[in-house]
Structure 1
Amino acid sequence: MLAQPLPDLAAWSQYLTGRPIPVLPDTAEELSLLAEVEDRHGTVDAHLIEEAIGDDPLMTLQVLAHVSRHRAQRQVTDVDTVTAAVVLMGIGPFFKTFSPLLVLDDHLDAHPHAVAEIRRRIRRSWCAARLVTEFALLHAEGHASALQKAALLHGHATLLLWCHAPALAQAVQDRCMQEPTQDCRHHERAVLNIELSALEHQLARDWRLPATLLRLTDPDDAHSQVLLQPQRRLLEIALTLADRLDREGPQATPTLEELDELSGLLTLSTPSVQRLFENTLA
């Protein structure tokens, strides 16, 4: 485990892209069972693997990063779903590549608080992914899959920090809680020498994650801010609402301004948007 901060963004990205990514125990168990089925009967397909990985952002990140970094030069189309990645790799090579898997709870057996924090953040990502998927479907959105993946993978730099430098992650969290009026980015710079949002985008670029994911999330991409303005805004609102639910619990609701904005984006009445929010998270 890394106990001291690294000097800059490049050093952090190099360190984390060189570390194994642990996965949730349920993911590892499901994939292990599927590998046995494939060995015995050869009946596993890409959709079954996608279902097994489900909403595990750590395994999703691992698969997309591997395929993006190893794709052939002649391949010009991004692979932005696990199903497409498995089809590209092949069933046998997939299981060979991702076996054995590092299990989160084993990796952090001496850091139970880190495991709890990672699970809490993953639940928040699930919530954001559910919301933005519903928004995208009502928006007749061609980028629905990318929006869902962007929400699921949002905050992956923080997850990896908790995985591989839990003491430093804890130090950032403690400072943010002790000085809530101060922007957390200030505390991140003080503890880590970097901002985690910048690290997230650097990791995505170094892993060569799908271009659509980068365009949806990169704050410095002025062209995409115009080209994908509605999509980016739907993602931002979903992430904001998921964060509020994480902090305030089930009583959290969208503000009137958010309801009005969603009403315009989705061409729904404000009460319909409120019901959509409630039904999605029921």
Structure 2
Amino acid sequence: MLDHPLPDIESWTLLFSNNGLPVLRVTKRRIEEMRADLDRVDARELARLILQDPIMTVRVLAYIQPMHGRALQRDITTIASAVMMAGIEPFFRHFDELFTIEDQLKGAGPQALLGVLQIIRRAQRAADYAQEWAIWRHDINMEEVRIAALLHDLAEILVWCSAPPLGLKILEQQKAHPTMRSADAQKNTLGFTFFEIQLELCRAWHLPELLQRLIDDEHAENPRVKNATLAVRLARHSSHGWNDPALPDDYTDIGQLLNITPEAVRQRLGLEPMPAREADGQDAD
């Protein structure tokens, strides 16, 4: 268990690349259940399972990238396509010895496991929001937007899995100094931000360029990037309840993305009752 910062970004990349990244216990259990009856495995059901787990998602994307070579005109950017490209049996052979986050953090104390599970839960909620809005916007590929939101905070999850004392230290700084920018707390502790580590990991694992772009807030004006970024923001700001002072701005920005009012955003989130006719599925006059 790492308790000190590494000297450079390459060292962080090597740490995460050379160790089998742990997945959620429920992911491992469900994959083992599917492996026991390969003939009945549904690729779409398998993809839905993978898309609930940020680390399993990135492991599958990294696994498939060298495989498609020059045969395809574009990168594999969805999990269902990755599973089909790999083939069901080779997929299960490759991922036959999964290690779990719960096992990895067994000796690190309850705060470490709670910390990483909270971040993963936040990523899952962000992915759900992003997918729902992408469908609303008639996005050409809503799964790409879902993956972008799910993986937006991947480096933070990986640091908590491999170096929980450093994750806790960042958290303590932010609690002690509520106005401190999270990037500053990360730099103070790690020497780098989570985002800087993440960009390097994307390059090292040859993740699809499209996904790298969707994860990158530098492209914030792109509607698809905005979709993913706002979903991450909403999940983060609402993670401790719906009273965060930043939420009204989120409702406004989400409303602009979806071309609806902030009140309609709150209704879609279940924070305000839907108008009677809309709630019972009838069209308004």
Matched, 1:231 2:228: no
The secondary structure found in structure 2 opposite 1:161 is: helix
What's the CA shift string for 1:239-276, capped at 9, x where partnerless?
111111113x1455874444343333322244322211
Alignment of 1:199-238 (within 5 A): 199-220=197-218, 224-225=219-220, 229-238=222-231
The whole-number CA distance in structure 1 between the counterparts of 2:224 and 2:94 is: 34
Aligned partner letter, 2:26: D
Q: CA deviation at 1:155?
A: 0.8
Task: Mark the CA change 1:164 to 1:264 in structure 2 (over 3 Å): closer, same or farther.
Answer: closer
Q: CA deviation at 1:154?
A: 1.6
The whole-number CA distance in structure 1 between the counterparts of 2:265 and 2:43 is: 35
Out of 170, 178, 181, the position equivalent to 1:180 is 178
The whole-number CA distance in structure 2 between the counterparts of 1:58 and 1:256 is: 31
Aligned partner letter, 2:96: S
The whole-number CA distance in structure 1 between the counterparts of 2:150 and 2:101 is: 17
Residues 109-118 or 269-278, more deviating: 269-278
> Structure 2: any 5+ residue segments left out of the alignment?
273-285
| Counterpart for residue 60 of structure 1 | 57
Residues 267-276 or 163-172, more deviating: 267-276
Matched, 1:135 2:133: yes
Q: CA deviation at 1:127?
A: 1.4
Task: Mark the CA change 1:184 to 1:264 in structure 2 (over 3 Å): closer, same or farther.
Answer: closer
The whole-number CA distance in structure 2 between the counterparts of 1:150 and 1:37 is: 31
For the Cα contact (< 8 Å) 1:129–1:151, is it kept in 2?
yes
Task: Mark the CA change 1:115 to 1:198 in structure 2 (over 3 Å): closer, same or farther.
Answer: same
Out of 242, 265, 270, the position equivalent to 2:257 is 265
Aligned partner letter, 2:224: Q
Aligned partner letter, 1:113: Q
For the Cα contact (< 8 Å) 1:69–1:207, is it kept in 2?
no
What's the CA shift string for 1:75-114, capped at 9, x where partnerless?
3321122211111111111111001110111111112322
Aligned partner letter, 2:6: L
For the Cα contact (< 8 Å) 1:24–1:104, is it kept in 2?
yes
> Structure 1: any 5+ residue segments left out of the alignment?
none
Out of 239, 244, 256, the position equivalent to 1:246 is 239
With CA pairs under 8 Å and 6+ residues apart, which has the higher RCO, 1 or 2? 1
Q: CA deviation at 1:236?
A: 2.0
Aligned partner letter, 1:236: T
Out of 76, 101, 104, the position equivalent to 1:107 is 104
| Counterpart for residue 280 of structure 2 | none
Q: How many residues are paired up?
A: 271
Output the TM-score relative to the length of structure 1: 0.88
Q: Percent identity?
A: 28
Q: CA deviation at 1:134?
A: 1.7
The whole-number CA distance in structure 1 between the counterparts of 2:198 and 2:237 is: 21
Q: What is the Cα-based RMSD across aligned positions, in Å? A: 2.2
| Counterpart for residue 46 of structure 2 | 49
Alignment of 1:71-86 (within 5 A): 71-86=68-83
Out of 196, 210, 228, the position equivalent to 1:198 is 196
| Counterpart for residue 152 of structure 1 | 150
Task: Mark the CA change 1:126 to 1:279 in structure 2 (over 3 Å): closer, same or farther.
Answer: farther
